[in-house]
């Protein structure tokens, strides 16, 4: 199977080369925005075909900029991908504006850049420059040593980012490798995962990952953006972009950590599947969810999926209907079962527990039903913190308690 990894590398460039990169970034953004401006037809239809967009804009961009032909193509491709995303939202009935590129970035492929172990040769508006890599200690086990310097991984391209707050350039280097696919696990045990605003993830084994850090830093960055927006100056606008990049970087680290621990949790319990609720329109389903949360859920799912695949664990999405209202103990479904944001108490059997934990178990059961129906009744269970749930009920398979594991009795 093909494994893809991205490695962040700090760059060191001379002052004159930095000026060239800044000018190249400015012209690259202009090119991408020019493609967007010329994407709408007279009838209002927005063109997303890269070939047609290229025919409309290539000659104009070449004449108006000093960009190398490959960078012109890269700007067009970036614009086309952004347009496709907007059109997809329109088809789902969502409101979305045409994209506008304002952050300082550049897309490089193997035609516009030459990648080496310790530096890269980059195309600019005035020839090529050499950008040295600022690398960590070789003795340490880092993504650089695991992917960037590995003979197994091939560098396919990179995105150049400029951080205005620190006046630094960074490469997000894309790599890929053909690796042996692990044998899919067939024991049929499911780890259910519920996503939320207070707890970003809760598993059917009773492990909670709080969203407090995510929400705290989002509020802090929102305050900074509001303050900068009130200034209204160009430098304030540029600083807003830098704040956004820093926020994304911080949140990515958090989501990678949670995804690693989710996969470890599934692996520790011998799970063959991880079940998430379907992410479509999740922002509208979860009270208090913001655009940030929908973005974070998507990233968390993607990170978990590719990391789990390396261990032979399948990650799937299931219909989330009534998973927060259904009793995971007796199956009774009623909207009043969830007496508060955190508490689930079944009106029929009296089962009392944390609402997110109850939902995580139901999400696992939802995949359980899906899998048994599709596999002719194959034995599948949902891994719980007090045992493994199968189609016939709870079996006596105790699990070891540990920090972060929620007991079956609410409040423990």
Tens digit of each residue's pLDDT (9 = 90 or more) over 254-302: 888 899 999 999 998 888 899 999 988 887 777 777 777 788 888 899 9
pLDDT of residue 114: 94
pLDDT of residue 184: 57
Q: Is 404's pLDDT higher than 90? A: no
Determine phi and psi for 127, rounding to 5 degrees.
Answer: 80, -165
The closest alpha carbon to 5, from 147, 158, 179, 156, belongs to: 147
Q: Is 274 in contact with 207 (CB distance < 8 Å)?
A: no
pLDDT of residue 249: 63
CA 51 vs. chain centroid, Å, equals 28
Question: What region, left, alpha or beta, does residue 331 occupy, with left being phi > 0 and alpha being psi -120 to 50 degrees?
Answer: left
Q: Where are the alpha helices (DSSP H) in 232-354?
A: 234-268, 282-285, 291-309
pLDDT of residue 13: 95
Burial string for 142-177 (b: 16+ CB within 10 Å, else e) reads: ebbbebbeeeebebebbbbbbbbeeeebbbebbbbe
Specify the 3-state DSSP secondary structure of 73.
helix
Give me the torsion for CA of 163, 164, 165, 169, rounded to 10°: 30
Q: Quickly list DSSP for 107-133.
A: EEETTTEEE-SSEEEEEEBTEEEEEEE
Summarize the confidence of residues 21-30 as an average pLDDT.
Answer: 96
Task: Give the residues across from 189 on adjacent strands.
Answer: 381
Q: How many whole angstroms separate alpha carbon 46 and alpha carbon 38?
A: 9
Beta strand pairing status for 381-384 and 387-390? Answer: antiparallel
Specify the 3-state DSSP secondary structure of 181.
coil
Q: Is 296 in contact with 286 (CB distance < 8 Å)?
A: no
pLDDT of residue 395: 36
More confident residue, 4 or 61: 61
The closest alpha carbon to 118, from 135, 140, 139, 106, belongs to: 135
Highest mean predicted confidence (pLDDT) among 58-67, 191-200, 365-374:
58-67
Q: Is 122 in contact with 64 (CB distance < 8 Å)?
A: no
More confident residue, 192 or 148: 192
Summarize the confidence of residues 364-388 as an average pLDDT.
Answer: 56
Using only the alpha carbons of the chain, give its radius of gyration. 25
pLDDT of residue 304: 93
Summarize the confidence of residues 221-241 as an average pLDDT.
Answer: 54
Summarize the confidence of residues 102-117 as an average pLDDT.
Answer: 92
Tokens representing 304 are 């978990």
Q: How many whole angstroms separate alpha carbon 403 and alpha carbon 393?
A: 26
Q: How many whole angstroms separate alpha carbon 205 and alpha carbon 40?
A: 50
How many CA within 13 A on the CB side of residue 246? Answer: 19
Give me the torsion for CA of 248, 254, 258, 264, rounded to 10°: 110
């Amino acid at each position: 199977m093909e494994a893809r990894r991205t490695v962040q590398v700090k760059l060191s460039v001379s002052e004159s080369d930095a000026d060239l990169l800044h000018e190249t970034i400015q012209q690259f953004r202009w090119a991408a925005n020019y493609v967007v401006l010329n994407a709408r037809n007279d009838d209002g239809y927005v063109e997303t075909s890269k070939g047609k967009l290229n025919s409309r804009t290539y000659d104009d961009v070449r004449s108006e900029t000093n960009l190398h032909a490959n960078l012109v193509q890269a700007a067009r491709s970036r614009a086309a991908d952004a347009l496709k995303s907007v059109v997809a939202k329109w088809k789902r009935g969502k409101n979305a504006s045409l994209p506008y590129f304002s952050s300082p970035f550049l897309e490089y492929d193997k035609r516009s850049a030459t990648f080496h172990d310790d530096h890269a040769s980059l195309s600019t508006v005035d020839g090529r420059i050499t950008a040295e890599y600022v690398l960590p200690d070789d003795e340490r086990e880092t993504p650089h040593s695991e992917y960037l310097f590995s003979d197994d991984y091939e560098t396919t391209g990179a995105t150049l980012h400029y951080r205005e707050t620190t006046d630094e350039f960074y490469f997000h280097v894309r790599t890929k490798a053909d690796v042996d696919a692990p044998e899919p696990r067939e024991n049929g045990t499911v780890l259910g995962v519920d996503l939320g605003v207070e707890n970003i993830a809760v598993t059917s084994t009773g492990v909670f990952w709080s969203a407090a850090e995510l929400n705290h830093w989002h509020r802090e960055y929102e305050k900074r953006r509001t303050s900068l927006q009130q200034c209204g100056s160009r430098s304030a606008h540029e600083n807003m972009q830098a704040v956004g990049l820093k926020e994304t970087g911080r949140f990515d680290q958090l989501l990678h950590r949670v995804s690693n621990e989710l996969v470890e949790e599934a692996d520790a319990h011998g799970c063959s599947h991880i079940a998430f609720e379907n992410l479509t329109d999740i922002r509208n389903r979860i009270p208090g969810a913001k655009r940030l949360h929908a973005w974070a859920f998507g990233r968390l799912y993607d990170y978990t999926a590719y990391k789990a695949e390396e261990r032979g664990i399948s990650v799937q999405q299931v219909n989330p209907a009534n998973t927060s209202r259904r009793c995971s103990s007796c199956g009774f479904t009623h909207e009043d079962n969830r007496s508060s944001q955190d508490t689930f108490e079944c009106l029929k059997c009296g089962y009392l527990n944390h609402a997110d934990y109850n939902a995580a178990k139901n999400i696992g059961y939802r995949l359980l039903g899906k899998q048994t129906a599709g596999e002719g009744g194959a034995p599948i269970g949902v891994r719980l913190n007090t045992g493994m749930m199968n189609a016939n009920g709870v079996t006596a398979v105790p699990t070891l308690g540990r920090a972060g594991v929620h007991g079956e009795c609410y409040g423990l």
